[in-house]
Structure 1
Amino acid sequence: MTLNKTSPSRGPGSAEVTGFYDADTGSIQYLVSDPETGKGAVIDTVMGFDPAQASTDSSGAQEILAFARSANIEITWILDTHPHADHLMASSWLKQQLGAPNAIGEKVCEIAGLWRELYHMPGAFDPPRDFDRLFADGDTFEIGSLPVRVMLTPGHTLGSITYVVGADAAFVNDTFMQPDVGTSRADFPGGSAAELYDSLQAILALSDDTRLFVGHDYGTDEREDPAWESTVGQQRRDNAHLAGNTSKDAYIKLREERDQTLALPDRMLHVLQMNLRAGRLPEPESDGKRYLKIPLNRFEKET
């Protein structure tokens, strides 16, 4: 059973948000709903993937669907904030189950261009085919009666987006971590610590009481249990990387030095090949089996 916790609506115009924790990857998946209409959306949902066996399963996504049914929430959007490097996206699978549109930021097309070269797959990846909506910075849509605004918040990837939902909720992808951890890495292809700093500052410009829902948490030595909700005010005051008005230059130095110590996610080269297709698996080959292509010796750290 997946650990989950609900952040209740604060009143009219405020979303109810349930986070579901994927322990294998430290990812948080969200079901956000409008109490007034019963409409909802899922954000950054995970398809199970075992890199040792190269096997997939949908049990976690099925739990979220069961939760939504029990709460009488109709899922009308399948949303992702970026093509994830550490977990397989459930977007394509959920679209098959629900018939709801799936969406991501429009700069996924530029990310796909980077990875076509890295995988040496010139004809691979067609985001307009695999996603029903490619959001630009400033785009708006609705979840029931709740307005949603899209913010381009690059840095972790060049195309990461934040969804600002209703009066007081923002789904900030891999920008912020919890205040006691700091911020997310920016060393993947197309990432930038400088752009990440600017994105963090843009999120901090939201109102102090805005609830921020992060993409990952792994606990800490002092805090065993995963957590994923904070506020703009808490992040501004307590964030381990930004509190005390950290300058941009100081942040870039801190972030880049930290990123040099981090290993790549063990699923990255597997799942990005599928996530750039909304989590859709490769087509079966002549033997009826599906195959991935993994580049060798492309991501060795400098020593």
Structure 2
Amino acid sequence: MSASDAALSRAQDQVRRAVDDETARPSIAGFFDEATNTVSYVVHDPESSEAAIIDSVLDFEAASGRTSHGSADLVVEYVNTKKLKVNWLIETHAHADHISAAPYLQERVGGKLAIGKDIIRVQEVFGKLFNAGTDFERDGSQFDHLFEDGEKFALGKLEGIALHVPGHTPADMAFIIGDAAFVGDTIFMPDFGTARADFPGGDAGQLFRSIRRLLSLPDETRLFLCHDYKAPGRDDYAWETTVKQQREGNVHVKDGVTEAEFVEMRTSRDKTLAMPTLIMPSVQVNIRGGRLPDPEDNGVSYIKIPVNAV
């Protein structure tokens, strides 16, 4: 058995145990930011109150370049009200559609900032694109921890495991905690489909294989998504589904869809999509662990926009 297969097998066993034992399941609160269509999560062990915050959002006004903390403060309020101990501030990947609030949250509620180890590949690509210079370290050192595929972690008595699910970007990770999987941008609600794969380092075939890896988890696995855009005909935002629902009904990747069919669909569809509104500020900040570029000699941080380069 390969290391990748062994990691998936461990995740499957973990979910089965949690399905059979409600004390092995996490308490989960989702915080939806409509401006970026992003869902942040606070996940905790009800017994020990140990918690993780996943995919937090820093409010950013593109026209003025101003940041604010309304979204993050809702998370802080929840953590404090519940008297949670934050162990982890997890990023499923280096987001291109919103800026992470992890450094702000770390100052207020603690926790180790973590992402998948292949962030170094993303840093290399975008470090060159933004001409970040030699002062920008491309080794993941902006984060406190880099998760490996199959790596175990815990929130109190809750078991967790990280799975590498590249394709949207090279560094995407899913984090399975008890019976819940936090899958980042790999997949959306069944009626909306899947993530794009045309960013630098993205690969539609790899995304298909990553999604099928996730859909090899038990049918009962709860999937918590990073985004929702309300598919045509649906009036409400939604961000929780199951493996069974995805396998039976995902409009892009349900059972029976082949990799070749998916790649053809995904490649054609991606050619019609505009770049995310906040891609330039988001990527520059998020490859730095959610920190702004170093201030220049006037004390101001600047976001670069490469002209005719993408």
Is the TM value for this pair above 0.5?
Answer: yes
Q: Is the 8 A contact 1:153 1:199 kept in 2?
A: yes
Q: 5 Å matches for 1:23-172?
A: 23-123=34-134, 124-166=136-178, 168-172=179-183
- How many residue pairs match? The answer is 290
Provide the C-alpha distance between the structure 2 equivalents of 1:185 and 1:250, rounded to a whole number of angstroms. 15
Corresponding position: 1:252 with 2:285: no
Find the aligned partners of 2:126 and 2:268 in 1 and give their Cα distance: 25
Q: Of the candidates 281, 292, 297, which is equivalent to residue 270 of structure 1?
A: 281
Query: Following TM superposition, where does structure 1 have runs of at least 4 consecutive aligned residues deviating by more than 6 angstroms?
Result: none
Query: Alpha-carbon deviation of 1:98?
Result: 2.5
Q: Does the 8 Å CA contact 1:90/1:279 hold for their aligned counterparts?
A: yes
2:6 equivalent in structure 1: none
Per-residue CA distance 1:187-210 (angstroms, 9 max, x = gap): 100000000000000001000000
Please tell me whether residue 295 in structure 1 is matched to residue 306 in structure 2: yes
Map of 1:218 onto structure 2: 229
Distance 2:146 2:105 in 1: 17
CA distance in 2, matches of 1:244, 1:272: 33
Q: 2:296 aligns with which of 275, 285, 297?
A: 285
Aligned 8 A contact 1:47 1:89 in 2: yes
The worse-fitting range, judged by mean Cα deviation, of 170-179 and 125-134 is: 125-134
Alpha-carbon separation, structure 2, partners of 1:21 and 1:220: 16
Q: Does 1:233 align with 2:244?
A: yes
The C-alpha deviation readout for 1:15-61, integer Å capped at 9, x for no partner, is 11111101011011011111111111100000011111111111111
2: CA distance, partners of 1:141 / 1:127: 22
Q: Structure 2: which amino acid aligns with 1:191?
A: G
**Matched-pair contact (CA < 8 Å) for 2:90–2:115:** yes
Residue ranges of structure 1 left out of the alignment (5+ in a row)? 1-8
The structure-2 alpha-carbon separation of the partners of 1:244 and 1:58, relative to structure 1 and needing over 3 Å to count, comes to same
Structure with the larger helix share: 2
Per-residue deviation, 1:269: 1.0
Distance 2:282 2:252 in 1: 29
Residues 180 and 238 in structure 1, CA contact (< 8 A), matched pair in contact too: yes
Distance across 2 between alignment mates of 1:125 and 1:58: 27
8 Å CA contact retained: 2:127, 2:138: no
The one-character-per-residue Cα deviations of 1:87-125 (angstroms, maximum 9, x if unpaired) are 001112212222321100000011100011111223224
Indicate the residue corresponding to 1:191 in structure 2.
202
SS in 1 for 2:46: coil
The amino acid that maps onto 1:134 is: L
**What's the Cα RMSD here?**
1.3
* Equivalent AA in structure 1 for residue 130 of structure 2: Y
Amino acid in the other structure paired with 1:249:
A
Amino acid at match of 1:135: F
